[in-house]
Structure 1
Amino acid sequence: MDVSPQRTAVIGAGYVGLTTGACLASLGHHVVCVDVDEAKIARLRQGRVDILEPDLPELVAAGLTDGHLDFTGDVTTAVRAAEVVFLCLPTPMAADGRADLSAVESVVAELGPSLPTGCVVVNKSTVPVGTAAWVRRMLDRDDLAVVSNPEFLREGSAVQDFLNPDRIVVGSDDEDAARRVADLYRPLRAPVVRTDAASAEMIKYAANCFLAVKLSYVNAIAELCEVFGADVDAVTTGMGHDPRIGRAFLRPGPGWGGPCLPKDSSALLRMADTAGVRFDLLQAAVDDNTRQGERVVRRLAEELGSLHRARIGLLGLAFKAGTNDLRGSPALRSAELLVAAGAEVTAYDPAVSLDLHHIAVVDDAYQAVKEADAVLLATEWPEFRALDWTAIAELMNGTLVFDARNHLDPAAIDEAGLTWRGIGRMVTAGSPDRRTPSTKGERSERTA
């Protein structure tokens, strides 16, 4: 279905902004992306994308080539002729747990006088309920409309999520403005949820926090499976067949993280507290998630006898496979807890190469596990399943492979003469008896 191209400005060229801009340009709209980072803008104008996101570099290159996509650091120029302006700005967790709207406030104050009459301002960022009304008051212009259009993009599949959405949520009391925003997405033929702005803002928080609760629930189930000798994979498979539950977000792990779930859970809890509403269920999910990260480290300590001066080879640092994002990473949290317990951590991640405080980051998985007393797999990169575990057994001092994602093949680990441990999983036959994790004394003797 054809749609008239609209002149669109996207303020912010991070994960959400760059994906939004590139995808809207691919639908035929004329898009200018704005960012305060001049070096980033210069790279993007050359088609260089720093974000690790499948298909995004190709979309940016195509948009630059066909003239539908441009980049600038001048917000005033970008919005002067815009019909729609998307706010894709960071709303990080503030010290008190609330969403920090300082970037939104600063940008709205700057662009307000420059917006053309009839322009629609769209909140794409995840913002507290009531933000659309607050932005409208800040603009203080009757000739402008504000619409809430939250994003539902997953890092590692953001482009596919944008172009193949489950739903598009558009919230506004201005029917014409809501229609114009919905029309931007018409070529996608996706269901459109039309509602008021407050409900649209709540939809995003309600969805993300439900997923956080679901993940904490399955991690607790995994812990019970360990106690009672059940297999969490079998349990979640049985659960997932129930259409009321579904298969998604039923994989246990070292805790949930990333740039969204932690801050959104905290923000909704603060909103509930301000409103005088108890949200004990969500608070329990957050508390359990903290405990889950600690439990991974505690289990390592129990297996090894002590973490003091233990060498840990950490496989994975990003909060999930397919991204180089360390924000809220359970892997990084585990590494920090291990270091605090006296362990020496050497890490490898295929997408992360920066230096980290007290954590050695190397550029090869085999280098990370060399002379390790234990290996901790914390991010589910596919290449880790293809590692030569016999070679790793020769490189290690110890024998323990703790698979905090249940990502590896336990049989391959066992065949290499190593001891596999997972989350909520039964140990494969033969593993405990063939080679149990060596004690601190045994490790010292072998390396002497």
Structure 2
Amino acid sequence: MRITIAGTGYVGLVTGVALAEIGHEVICYDIDDEKVNRLKEGISPIYEPGIDQLLVKNQLNNRLSFSSDCSEVYSTPDIIMIAVGTPEKEDGSANLSYVYQVAKDISKYLNTQQAIVVTKSTVPVGTNRKVKQWIEEEIDFHSKIHIVSNPEFLREGSALYDTFHGDRIVIGSEDEEAATKMEELYSPLNIPIIHTDIESAEMIKYASNAFLATKISFINEIANICEKVGANIEDVSKGIGMDQRIGSKFLQAGIGYGGSCFPKDTKALVQLAGDVKHRFHLLEAVINVNNNQPLLLLKKARNYVGSFKDVKVAVLGLAFKPNTDDIRESAALVVLKHLLNEGAQVNVYDPIAIANARKVLGNTVTYYETIEAAIKDTEIVFIVTEWKQVKEFPLRNYLDLMKTPIVIDGRNCYEVKEAAALNMTYSSIGRESVTAAKIEIK
């Protein structure tokens, strides 16, 4: 099939590359000429394991192309997929201006008697019907528009794997012909497909992310209680995760969720509930717990140093999770904001996200390409992202390289017993803390 994808961000590019890989003819559209030119050269604007190889491969096989010309991409495709951003407004609701612009461009340039327009962007319930209205109110000739809600369920850092090995594909449509066409589109993937009405498909996306965010905030609250009663959160998580009704995924205690989806989507669902006069108390609590969780690292550190003024600190990890360069809503930014405001001297390390971090942090911190360099002569280290490089870094090295080896581990990367054996100060989430026999902080 001939597929046009509007937007070459995370969802759009991963979807385009994957559909080309299973044999479709895909053209991805973006308004940014420079970005399009770089994609034509095989340079991905996002970090995602495996995407570079598939990007080049499918362009060479003439199944994947890129354009910034509306008249070229919207003229005669079989399916148009909307995968543009829906950023958060100040009130927490989704900004649909980019979706609206795509709808208007489709109405202007579409040159077929019928078209299937698919929304992959995460949008509030009711948006797909608005898209249909926006297209039809300005279209130049009689064309039958079929609207399909087809939300994505991609994890950054595992997005290609999720595309090819997903749990389900959701197709929300009231038109049987359009739904069948979408099923044919995805048939090479052999993934279970669920057919719903449009509104249910839109809600499935928000409900899925809200539930996963709830699991994260729940286990973090349990971890906070574990510290106070002497329980070990890792044992507790394992014990409850073995219950098939609960499951073990998203039960790893830490300093909260971040990224481009969970924070935005949870707030959007609260706003959506408010729009229909429903107070979503549970999700409001989930958001509040997540907002406070990164602050626990600072509280733990203050127990040892009192004030951060002129204290030399290292922060390991800037991305909101491993295997991505995305720093949006990262816990690291929360921690760094407080450290800098309180006068700390901050070194940072991340194997991938430094370039994106510079755009936000500028010269307020010192960047390092190795963990060794970042922690050398520091007094406190905060572990914020559980990168493989961090998890495999010997705990003994902190003792050897730091001025005062105080490690505040927000991702439970190390074993408490090892820290105790080394006689170093080590504090993590939901587990016993270890304090060295002697701590000297200026």
User: Is TM (by shorter chain) over 0.5?
Assistant: yes
Aligned counterpart, 2:425: 419
**Which residues of structure 2 form unaligned runs of 5+?**
none
Structure 2 matches for 1:128-147, cutoff 5 A?
128-140=124-136, 143-147=144-148
Instruction: Single out whichever of 260-269 and 68-77 deviates more from structure 2.
Output: 68-77
Matching of residue 88 in structure 1 with residue 83 in structure 2:
yes
TM-score by length of 2: 0.94
- What are the residue-to-residue correspondences of 1:100-119 with 2, within 5 Å? 100-115=95-110, 116-119=112-115
Please give the secondary structure, in 1, of the residue aligned with 2:354.
Answer: coil
CA contact (8 A) 2:416 2:432 kept: no
- 1:362 alignment partner in structure 2: 368
Matches within 5 A, 1:16-35: 16-35=11-30
- Of 390, 395, 408, which aligns to 1:402? 408
| TM alignment of 1:15-414, pairs within 5 A | 15-115=10-110, 116-140=112-136, 143-354=144-355, 355=358, 356-357=361-362, 358-414=364-420
Number of positions where the alignment pairs a residue of Structure 1 with one of Structure 2: 431
Distance change in 2, residues 1:106/1:341 (3 Å): same
Please tell me the residue identity of whatever aligns with 1:443. I
Q: 2:5–2:26: 8 Å Cα contact kept in structure 1?
A: yes
Deviations, residues 208-258 of structure 1 (Å, cap 9, x unaligned): 011111111100000000000000000000000101100000011111111
Identity across matched positions, percent: 39
Letter in 2 for 1:72: S
Cα distance between partner residues in 1 of 2:178 and 2:422 = 62
Deviation at 1:412, TM superposition (A): 4.3
Residues in 1 aligned to 2:104 and 2:391: alpha-carbon distance in whole angstroms: 50
- In structure 2, distance between residues paired with 1:170 and 1:159: 19
Q: Deviations over 1:9-28 (max 9, x none)?
A: 01101110010001000111
CA contact (8 A) 2:381 2:408 kept: yes
Aligned-pair distance for 1:340? Answer: 2.1
Distance 2:180 2:437 in 1: 65
- The structural deviation recorded for 1:71 is 0.6
The one-letter code matched in structure 2 to 1:107 is V
Deviates more, 1:152-161 or 1:361-370: 361-370
**How far does the alpha carbon of each residue in 1:251-308 deviate from its partner, in whole angstroms, 9 at most, with x for none?**
1111111100000011001111111001000001101111112222112112322222
Do the aligned residues in 2 keep the contact of 1:318 with 1:332 (CA within 8 Å)? no
1:10 and 2:5 equivalent?
Answer: yes
Give the counterpart letter for 1:384 in structure 2: V
Contact persistence 1:127–1:201 (CA under 8 A): yes
Tell me the CA shift for residue 416 of structure 1.
Answer: 4.4
List per-residue Cα deviations over 1:124-182 (Å, max 9, x = no partner): 00000000000011111651111100000000010010011100000011111111112
Kept after mapping to 2: 8 A contact 1:7/1:83: yes
1:373–1:397 CA contact under 8 A, matched in 2: yes
In the alignment, residue 79 of structure 2 is paired with which amino acid?
A: V
Question: How far 1:83 moved relative to its partner?
Answer: 0.6
| Alpha-carbon separation, structure 2, partners of 1:62 and 1:11 | 21
Check whether the contact 2:297–2:382 (CA below 8 A) recurs between aligned residues: no
CA–CA distance in 1 between the matches of 2:32 and 2:422?
A: 49
Task: Check the 8 A contact 1:385/1:409 in 2, yes or no.
Answer: no
TM-score w.r.t. structure 1 length? 0.93
Q: Which moved more, 1:297-306 or 1:406-415?
A: 406-415
Shift of 1:387: 2.0
Deviation per CA, 1:390-422, whole angstroms, max 9, x where unpaired? 343232121211110001244444454422211
Instruction: State the distance in 2 between where 1:182 and 1:222 align.
Output: 43
Q: Which residue of 2 aligns with 1:443?
A: 441
Amino acid at match of 1:134: K
Q: Give the 3-state SS of the residue equivalent to 1:236 in structure 2.
A: helix
Go from structure 1 to structure 2 and tell me whether the alpha carbon gap of 1:296 and 1:315 turns closer, same or farther (over 3 Å shift).
same
- CA distance in structure 1 between the aligned counterparts of 2:215 and 2:93, rounded to whole angstroms: 22
Gaps of 5+ in 1: 1-5
**Partner letter of residue 157 of structure 1?**
S
